[in-house]
Chain A
Amino acid sequence: MSLLDIQHAGFQYDGNTVLKDITFSVEEKQYLCIVGVNGSGKSTLIRGILGLKKPSEGSVAYGEGLSGSQIGYLPQQTDAQKDFPASVYEVVLSGRLNKLGRRPFYRKEDRQAADEKIELLNIGSIRNKSYQKLSGGQQQRVLLARALCAADRLIVLDEPVSGLDPAAAADFYRICRQINEGGMTIIMVSHDIQSALSQASHILYLGHSEPFFGTVEEFKNSPAGKKYLSEAAL
């Protein structure tokens, strides 16, 4: 069974259909990029994947042992975070929130898990620094560490490289690839089509017409892909 299986799903807001007839599935260890023009419903689809928005038609089904709250999510940054007093460690630790259950405080293993992810992403040297003082690339690493704390098998990244300079973006893609090779399934929403094609194993394209789902090679040879690529090249 797939990790995530979405069949003919449609989503509505206030009676307006934002997405309809979306079908795709994500297998363990895949790296899926969701690309598409603005307003094509990428954010809505993410809420659907995370289980925060019920489909108005069709179904969203998780593989065995997975639930919406067990997906590691890296949302887009908000303004409030820019002057928020929080240390790197505090932010990463908050990724263990979904393991808290009814307990009010974190346990030793939660703290250990947070430190492991900090090591993994090589941010040990800034562990006690204030999040607001970090560079954009470092901030994304911290949020990725937090997502990994929350996730066992699947992480969802929403435009993680927007606002990063090219070097930091390349660095971020390299880490994602490493994590993916380590066995983590990744779904990434991206504007950056060229990187999406070079990094991902599968593409979900949301346009104003028919959505497309397939491997990167299939996408490059599809009519929708060709059209989108030629537009993106301009």
Chain B
Amino acid sequence: MISMFIKMLSYPFLQRALLVGLLVSLCASLLGTSLVMKRFSMIGDGLSHVGFAALALAYALNLAPLSVSVPVCVLAAFFLLRIRDSSKIKGDAATALMCSGALAVGVMTISLTSGMNTDVCNYMFGSILAMSRSDVVLSVVLALAVIVLYVIFYHRIFAVTFDESFAEATGINTNAYNTVIAVLTAVTVVLGMRMMGTLLISSLIVFPSLTAMRVTGNYHSTVVVSALISTVCFLAGLFFSYLYSVPTGACIVIMNMLAFFVFSLAAKRKGA
């Protein structure tokens, strides 16, 4: 088992996947708690579909994928928040509009340029081979930035998540912090989506914190436990996908599902 793991790490593409994947899992689980509590769980889904369209466009125009999709997703995050504040279209409807709209644009772009082929499948369900060397550097820098910003704003993010009215009354610019959360999420989604796939990335955000909440009673331990769950599930998923040559993203999601059921059962037994 351990020798398999060491052998696995001798492949440069798997080293890259491991490094970026670990960091992205960490980012996603940190932000997840806030997003789930703020009823923003679907924002990851919305943003990943926009990211898909952006990636397709980037390939079509021969641009570096991250340099197009990061700004586009950040813009989409702003847009989603603005819609939430205006009452004309509700947040969940706006996310649905954005998902299918962006998906259509992406699929059109791909079919007009390269034709529908296995690439689309890679976009949708992720590919471990997607990371190039230059992507890795940018991914690591961005992921570290997300983690550092999260730690710096930890107490403010807690306050804004738990009670926006109170936070606002103490002089916190709640809109600014909601935007910070959305922007950090956008960056995380873009970084993770090529490995995890457009359709699976939001599970990385939602699962670990929901799993942690089965057993924890305070915010601090929820964040810590969900970060642990997220990284362990990622490692297990990656290893499994290597051993049995199955898709990485799906493996990681299934690991997260298993963890969720195990924790739910544990909580039930504890409660009973």
A: residues with CB less than 8 A from B are 50, 52, 67-69, 71, 73-76, 78, 80-81, 83-87, 89-91, 94-95, 97-98, 100, 104-106, 128-130, 133, 143, 146, 150, 156
Contacts and interface: CB of A to CB of B under 8 A. Distances in A.
B169 A86 contact: no
Contact of A97 (B155, B213, B220, B221): B155
B163 A97 contact: no
B222 interface: yes
B203 to A, nearest CB: 20
Which of the four size classes fits the interface of chain B? Answer: 20 to 34
Nearest to A85: B222
A71 B33 CA distance: 29
B167 to A, nearest CB: 7
B81 interface: no
A90 B163 contact: no
Interface in B19-49: 33, 37-39
A209 B164 CA distance: 32
- Looking at chain B's contact residues, the main secondary structure is helix
A104 B219 contact: no
A105 B162 CA distance: 17
Nearest to A130: B217
A209 B151 CA distance: 51
A85 B151 CA distance: 18
A75 B217 contact: no
Contacts of B171: 67-69, 98
A84 B152 contact: no
B218 interface: yes
B170 interface: yes
A78 B161 CA distance: 11
Given A80-B162, A87-B218, 13 more contacts: A52-B169, A67-B171, A69-B169, A71-B169, A73-B166, A75-B169, A84-B219, A86-B218, A87-B220, A89-B218, A97-B167, A104-B151, A105-B155
Contacts of B217: 85, 87, 128-130, 133
Contacts of A74: 166
A104 B218 contact: no
B218 A90 contact: yes
Contacts of A97: 155-156, 159, 167, 170, 172
A106 B155 contact: yes
Contacts of A133: 217
B47 to A, nearest CB: 21
20 contacts: A68-B169, A73-B166, A73-B170, A75-B163, A75-B166, A80-B39, A80-B161, A80-B162, A83-B213, A85-B221, A87-B218, A94-B163, A95-B170, A97-B156, A97-B159, A104-B155, A105-B154, A105-B155, A146-B166, A150-B169
A150 B159 CA distance: 13
B122 interface: no
Contacts of A80: 37-39, 161-162
Nearest to B168: A52
Given A50-B169, A84-B37, A150-B170, A104 B158 contact: no
B162 A86 contact: yes
Interface in B152-205: 152-156, 158-159, 161-172
Nearest to A75: B165
Lowest 10 A-B CB distances belong to which pairs? A69-B171, A130-B217, A87-B218, A75-B165, A73-B169, A98-B170, A104-B152, A85-B222, A94-B159, A86-B219
A84 B167 CA distance: 16
A133 B168 CA distance: 25
A100 to B, nearest CB: 7
Contacts of B167: 94, 97
A90 to B, nearest CB: 5
Contacts of A130: 217-218
